């Protein structure tokens, strides 16, 4: 397994612990421009949401993950109204 920086591990744990999809989206926005973004990270974040992200570059896969979370956040807000 790749060694992950402490701040990356903190962001991952925050993502796993967060209940709100809007907050998960905010965490993904913090991760978006990191140099240590990896397929392993995308897979772990996706698995925590019971998602499977298809093949592609890390950037493409991260974008697909973010789109899924964004869609859930949109419907989460509608449901709470």
Structure confidence at residue 1 (pLDDT): 44
Domain assignments of the chain as residue spans, ordered by start: 6-80
The reported pLDDT for the residue numbered 79 is: 59
* Averaged pLDDT, 51-65: 97
Gap between the Cα atoms of 71 and 8, Å rounded = 24
The answer to pTM > 0.75 is yes
Helix (H, G, I), strand (E, B) or coil at 24: helix
Q: DSSP E strands: which ranges in the chain?
A: none
CA distance 44 to 62: 11
d(CA 58, CA 64): 10
């Amino acid at each position: 397994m790749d060694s992950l920086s402490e701040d990356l591990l903190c962001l991952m744990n925050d993502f796993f612990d967060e209940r709100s999809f809007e907050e998960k989206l905010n965490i993904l926005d913090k991760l978006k421009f990191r140099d240590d973004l990896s397929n392993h990270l995308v897979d772990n974040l996706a698995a925590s949401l019971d998602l499977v992200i298809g093949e592609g570059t890390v950037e493409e896969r991260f974008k697909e993950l973010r789109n899924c979370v964004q869609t859930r956040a949109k419907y989460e807000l509608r449901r709470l109204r």
